[in-house]
């Protein structure tokens, strides 16, 4: 094997996805060396340590929460959803880009997705884990979460299946399960690669058990391809349904600012918007730290930037339609709700969200911006902040000022609100960097199929 270890950082040729000069073995070695042989870079320790410290903060916040109750958060009548549900919707939305990349782009035959799908799916999984924390903790007694499930019990009661909150339980738990399955199935061939390449006997045993005896047989590949395609076909409607169901939590209520029929597509677009921002925010540092510019190329960043621009416009359209609907609908309360958003106690948040979500992404029209990783990174952070503000705006401002001025109240976030929120960012980073260290962050076998050598020549075709 003479073709070992060449570092390639040239730009890919037009029409090609990854940089020229790669072979099956260099791809395998470059991606698996991150896990198996290469010295762990300082960046990893810094990021993992940062995530770990915030995770400690999360554990502290949860301990205090369990000891004292949800009153440590700023949730007071009338804003009983506060940060908890804001963060839940934000995190779930971030997860959606992973499924979009792995399922929808697979069905659309967008093979550039092959080098970013693995870590995007991992991102989905961990974002859903973070999202799940909030409704669980918000219940106040998370250890009784199983009361949400229908099961025979001595209390003689059952869930109310006409409630969107129960739909949410089923949608989010199905989403978490299917994301995990999809991610694991995608990992199996690569776990086989790691099993065959590692020299550490313990690692070999662990990867071997996880790979379940995968041997790359043509029989397996043919069933495997069918399975991935079917899973992609199932995950596609699923991902669209999940944020739709999340938006039903709002639209089925009659609160002004919530009760509108276009929330489902608006929420899904926003989810993909924030999710791609997170993909960029993770991909840009990772590829430069691990020297993966040949696999996650500028073209990938450019494509992600374009998707952000497109979904950003859908979100902008939704904001405009929301205002138009309020005005044209002629409902006084609805009109007041939007007037309050723009001029009321949350005006600063509203206008910052407009700046972050609508104005800032317009720079992505310029190719110069899309081809600069630093600017793209900044843009993605701005969008993540903007989308968080959007969720905050929808939930908090609508609840704070509903029908009767006598029942109005302003939400004040406490330090525990912030600690829990930052804590889940810690949980996310902690899990994500653990994943980067222990598993191949780019799908090795799918990137192999991108090589020109992977095409069977005419002679073989016949």
Partner 1 sequence: MSEQGIYGVMAEFDNPSALVSAARAARAKGYRKLDAYSPFPIEELTDALHLHKNKLPLIVLAGGVIGGLTGFFLQYWIAVIYFPINIAGRPLNSWPSFIIITFELTILFASLSAVLGMMALCGLPMPYHPVFNVPRFSAASRNRFFLCIEAADPLFDPAQTSQFLGTLEPTEVSEVAH
**Residue of 16, 19, 24, 321 that binds partner 1 (CB under 8 A):** 24
Report if residue 155 touches partner 1, rule: CB under 8 A: no
Residue 313, judged by CB atoms within 10 A of its CB (0-12, 13-18, 19+), counts as middle
Dihedral Cα 351, 354, 357, 363, nearest 10 deg: -110
Question: Is residue 23 at the binding interface for partner 1, with CB under 8 A as the rule?
Answer: yes
160 forms part of the interface with partner 1 (CB under 8 A): yes
Q: Is 66 in the site for partner 1 (CB under 8 A)?
A: no
Give the nearest distance from C-beta 248 to partner 1 in angstroms.
Answer: 8
- Identify which of residues 193 and 397 has a Cβ nearer to partner 1 in the complex: 193
Single residue of 5, 109, 154, 457 touching partner 1 by CB under 8 A: 457
The b-or-e profile of 13-24 (16+ CB within 10 A means b, else e) is eeebbbbeebbb
Tokens 């900044």 sit on residue: 378
Strand partners, 76: 79
The whole-angstrom separation of Cα 53 and Cα 375 is 28
Rounded to an integer, what distance in angstroms lies between the CA atom of residue 418 and that of residue 422? 6
Told to check if 267 binds partner 1 by CB under 8 A, we report no
Max Cα-Cα span within the chain: 81
Using the contact rule CB under 8 A, the part of the chain among 45-53, 157-165, 327-335, 348-356 near partner 1 is 157-165
Per CB under 8 A, 453 contacts partner 1: yes
Residue 41 touching partner 1 (CB under 8 A): no
Cα dist from 361 to 67, 143, 276, 368, whole Å: 43, 42, 12, 13
> What is the smallest separation between the CB atom of 176 and partner 1, expressed in angstroms?
10
C-beta of residue 91 within 8 angstroms of C-beta of residue 130? yes
Compute the distance between CA of residue 99 and CA of residue 272 in angstroms, rounded to an integer.
9
| Residue in this structure with the two tokens 């199983």, named with its chain if needed | 146
The verdict on 227 binding partner 1 (CB under 8 A) reads yes
- Letters for 412-431 (x = contact with partner 1 by CB under 8 A, - = none) are --------------------
Q: Taking CB under 8 A as the rule, does residue 149 contact partner 1?
A: no
Segment interacting with partner 1, rule: CB under 8 A, options 68-76, 164-172, 320-328, 370-378: 164-172
Q: Report the residue from 40, 110, 226, 362 that binds partner 1 according to the rule CB under 8 A.
A: 226
Examine residue 60 and tell whether it contacts partner 1 (CB under 8 A).
Answer: no
The total of other beta-carbon atoms located within 10 Å of residue 248's CB is: 19
Least distance from C-beta 93 to partner 1, angstroms? 18
Question: In this chain, which of 51, 74, 192, 305 binds partner 1, going by CB under 8 A?
Answer: 192
> What are the CA-CA distances from residue 186 to residues 23, 213, 279, 400, 438 (Å)?
21, 15, 18, 45, 15
Q: Which residues bind partner 1 (CB under 8 A)?
A: 1, 3, 23-25, 28, 150, 156-162, 166-167, 170-171, 174, 177-178, 181-182, 184-185, 189, 192-193, 195-197, 212-227, 230-231, 234-235, 237-238, 241, 245, 248, 445-446, 448-449, 453-457, 459-462
């Amino acid at each position: 094997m003479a073709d070992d270890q060449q570092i390639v950082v040239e730009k890919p040729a037009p029409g090609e996805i990854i940089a020229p000069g790669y072979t099956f073995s260099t791809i395998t070695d470059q991606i698996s060396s991150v896990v198996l042989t290469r010295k762990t870079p300082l960046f990893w320790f810094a990021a993992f340590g940062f995530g770990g410290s915030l995770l400690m903060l999360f554990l502290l916040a949860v301990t205090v929460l369990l000891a004292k109750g949800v009153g440590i958060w700023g949730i007071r009548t009338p804003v009983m959803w506060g940060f908890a549900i804001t963060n839940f919707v934000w995190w779930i939305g971030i997860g959606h880009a992973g499924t979009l990349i792995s399922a929808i782009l697979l069905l659309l035959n967008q093979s550039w997705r092959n080098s970013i799908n693995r870590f995007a799916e991992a991102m989905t999984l961990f974002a859903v884990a973070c999202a799940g924390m909030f409704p669980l903790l918000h219940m106040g007694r998370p250890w009784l979460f199983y009361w949400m499930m229908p099961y025979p019990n001595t209390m003689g009661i059952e869930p109310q299946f006409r409630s969107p909150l129960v739909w949410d339980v089923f949608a989010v738990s199905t989403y978490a399960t299917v994301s995990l399955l999809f991610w694991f199935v995608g990992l199996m061939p690569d776990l086989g690669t790691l099993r065959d390449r590692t020299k550490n006997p313990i690692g070999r045993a662990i990867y071997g058990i996880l790979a379940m005896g995968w041997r790359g047989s043509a029989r397996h590949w043919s069933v495997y391809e069918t399975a991935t395609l079917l899973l992609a076909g199932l995950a596609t409607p699923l991902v669209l349904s999940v944020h739709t169901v999340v938006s039903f939590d709002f639209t089925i209520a009659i609160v002004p600012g919530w009760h509108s029929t276009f929330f489902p597509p608006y929420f899904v677009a926003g989810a993909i918007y924030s999710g791609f921002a997170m993909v960029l925010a993770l991909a840009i540092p990772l590829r430069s730290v691990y020297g993966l510019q040949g696999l996650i190329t500028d073209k990938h960043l450019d494509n992600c930037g374009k998707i952000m621009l497109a979904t950003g416009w859908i979100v902008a359209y939704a904001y405009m339609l929301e205002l138009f609907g309020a005005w044209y609908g002629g409902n006084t309360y609805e009109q007041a709700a939007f007037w309050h958003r723009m001029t009321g106690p949350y005006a600063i948040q509203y206008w910052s969200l407009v700046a972050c979500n609508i104005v800032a992404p317009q720079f992505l029209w310029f190719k110069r911006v899309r081809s600069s990783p630093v600017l793209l990174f900044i843009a993605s952070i701005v969008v993540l902040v903007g989308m968080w503000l959007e969720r905050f705006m929808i939930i908090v401002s609508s609840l704070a000022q509903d029908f009767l001025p006598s029942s109005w109240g302003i939400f004040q976030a406490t330090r525990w609100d912030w600690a829990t929120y930052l804590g889940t960012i810690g949980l996310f980073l902690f899990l994500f960097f653990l994943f980067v260290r222990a598993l191949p962050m780019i799908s090795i076998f799918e990137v192999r199929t991108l090589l020109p050598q992977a095409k069977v020549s005419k002679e073989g075709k016949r």
